[in-house]
């Protein structure tokens, strides 16, 4: 029902940045090589995501807007080996229940367009046969005024979207992203799979020239990424990004491991800029902890922490710091 979807929306679509996150994750799950994101008025007026992914079968499109009708989990045991970013089947119905949504999608053949407003199907019609999906979300929270009142200033909401897009781009260097806000291009990545290039597009080449590559692995795990030299720090931990199997996560223990890799090289209250990519067996990770999927449970966090510590401390030692 529309009400149940609006309740779920309370958790999944808190603000424009969460809409962007969910829709871009769907585009990544659909194996897109190019994802173009456009917003107007910090996403509250308009959000558009164009991807060149697999698209949705015209017969299945309306099902995709039903709650828990995910195509990504077939059986209960699949929950313990999730490889896709989405798996709860909540994003599309939630977003459609609190906005006006237009989706055009095609698997390569005849496409379909559906329009939803406030969770109800308004109309459907044929669409061009361009492989991929275009989704437009307008008038976000138009029918939930209490939610609208909770929005911060447009600048704050826009910077939340921008942070989110940066994280998604860093987590997927193999995808070419563009992000445009009110006609201004804020990010463009090449999609050539080079993490350092993505970091350059976000932070600028000067910052990137002060970052060093890290690597460590063992039989079960691999840690890769880039960390800044101790001379290049920020006053916030937010510049420490942890990416686990392509999913940006928040994890206090692993963040602490990054900091401890610097030993006594950091000044009090200063934190490095870093991107830590971890590859681990999905069976060791429970991603079904929270609706936004940013918190995960890891069965061997200690082992990952140790590897992060080793990768960073040895890379910095090589630089004779
Ligand atoms: P989930 O991602 O958890 O499966 P969503 O509500 O986000 O649930 O999406 C529902 C379904 O719609 C997905 O399982 C997928 O099959 C389909 N889908 C959504 N967006 C796209 C897209 N951009 N490209 C291809 N399929 C999509
Ligand atoms: Mg999804």
Question: Does residue 194 lie within any of the structural domains?
Answer: no
Contact 28, 172 (CB under 8 A): yes
The angle at the Cα of 88, spanning 47 to 244, to the nearest 5 degrees, equals 85
pTM of the entire structure? 0.92
Among the listed residues 135, 152, 204, the one whose alpha carbon sits nearest the alpha carbon of residue 44: 152
**148 CA distance to ligand 1 middle (Å):** 25
Q: What is the pLDDT of residues 146-158, one digit of tens each?
A: 899 999 999 999 9
Quick one: CA dihedral 303, 286, 295, 54, positive or negative?
Answer: positive
- For residue 311, what pLDDT is reported? 98
Question: Does residue 251 lie within any of the structural domains?
Answer: yes
**164 CA distance to ligand 2 middle (Å):** 15
Mutate to test the pocket of ligand 1, among 73, 86, 107 (most ligand atoms within 8 A of CB): 86
Residue 24's domain comprises: 2-188
- Measured from the alpha carbon of residue 25, the closest ligand is 2
Q: What average pLDDT does range 195-222 have in this prediction?
A: 95
Contact 225, 277 (CB under 8 A): yes
- Residues 82 and 171 grouped into a single domain: yes
- Residues 24 and 63 grouped into a single domain: yes
Q: For residue 74, count CB atoms less than 10 angstroms from its CB and return exposed for 0-12, middle for 13-18, buried for 19 or more.
A: exposed
For residue 27 and ligand 1, the question of a CB distance below 6 A is answered with: yes
Q: What is the pLDDT of residues 67-105, one digit of tens each?
A: 877 776 666 666 666 677 877 788 999 999 999 999 999
Pairing of strands 176-181, 34-40: parallel
For residue 89 and ligand 1, the question of a CB distance below 6 A is answered with: yes
What the block records as the tokens of 105 is: 């999608």
Residue 42 backbone zone (phi > 0: left; psi -120 to 50: alpha; other: beta): left
The DSSP bridge partners found for residue 34 are: 176
Q: What is the pLDDT of residues 23-82, one digit of tens each?
A: 999 999 999 999 999 999 999 999 999 999 999 999 999 999 998 777 766 666 666 666
- For residue 284, what pLDDT is reported? 83
Q: What is the pLDDT of residues 259-292, one digit of tens each?
A: 999 999 999 999 999 999 999 988 888 877 777 7
Contact 138, 46 (CB under 8 A): yes
For residue 86 and ligand 1, the question of a CB distance below 6 A is answered with: yes
**187 CA distance to ligand 1 middle (Å):** 24
For residue 26 and ligand 1, the question of a CB distance below 6 A is answered with: yes
Q: What average pLDDT does range 101-125 have in this prediction?
A: 97
Question: Does residue 198 lie within any of the structural domains?
Answer: no
Atom of ligand 1 nearest to the CA of 94: 6
- Residues 135 and 239 grouped into a single domain: no
Question: Does residue 164 lie within any of the structural domains?
Answer: yes
Looking at 153, 188, 223, the residue that finishes a domain is 188
| ipTM exceeds 0.90 | yes
Question: Does residue 203 lie within any of the structural domains?
Answer: no
Report the alpha-carbon distance of residue 287 to residue 80 in Å, rounded: 8
Residues with Cβ within 5 Å of ion ligand 2?
26, 86, 91
- Residues 100 and 218 grouped into a single domain: no
């Amino acid at each position: 029902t529309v009400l149940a979807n609006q309740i779920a929306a309370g958790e999944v679509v808190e603000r424009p940045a969460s809409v962007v996150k969910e829709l871009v994750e769907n585009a990544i799950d659909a194996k897109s090589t190019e994802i173009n994101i456009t917003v107007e008025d910090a996403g509250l007026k308009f959000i558009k995501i164009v991807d060149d992914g697999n698209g949705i079968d015209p017969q299945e499109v309306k099902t995709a807007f039903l709650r828990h009708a995910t195509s990504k989990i077939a059986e209960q045991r699949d929950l313990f080996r999730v490889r896709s970013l989405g798996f709860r089947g909540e994003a599309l119905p939630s977003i459609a229940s609190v906005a006006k949504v237009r989706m055009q999608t095609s698997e390569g053949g005849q496409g379909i367009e559906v329009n939803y407003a406030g969770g109800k199907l308004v109309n459907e019609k044929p669409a061009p046969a361009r492989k991929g999906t275009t989704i437009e979300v307008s008038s976000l929270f138009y029918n939930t005024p209490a939610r609208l009142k909770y929005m911060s200033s447009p600048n704050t909401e826009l910077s939340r979207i921008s942070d989110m897009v940066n994280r998604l781009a860093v987590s997927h260097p193999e995808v070419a992203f563009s992000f445009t806000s009110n006609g201004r291009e804020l990010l463009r990545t090449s999609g050539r799979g080079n993490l350092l290039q993505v970091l350059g597009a976000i932070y600028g080449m000067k910052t990137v020239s002060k970052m060093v590559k890290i690597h460590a692995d063992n039989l079960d795990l691999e840690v890769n990424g880039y960390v800044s030299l101790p001379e290049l720090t920020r006053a916030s931990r937010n510049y420490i990004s942890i990416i686990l199997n392509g999913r940006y996560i928040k994890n206090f223990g692993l963040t602490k491991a990054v900091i401890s890799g610097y030993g006594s090289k950091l000044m009090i209250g200063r934190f490095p800029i870093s991107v830590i990519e971890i590859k681990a067996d999905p069976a060791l990770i429970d991603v079904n902890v929270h609706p936004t999927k940013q918190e995960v449970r890891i069965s061997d966090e200690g082992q990952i922490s140790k590897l992060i510590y080793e990768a960073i401390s040895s890379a910095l030692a090589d630089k004779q710091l």
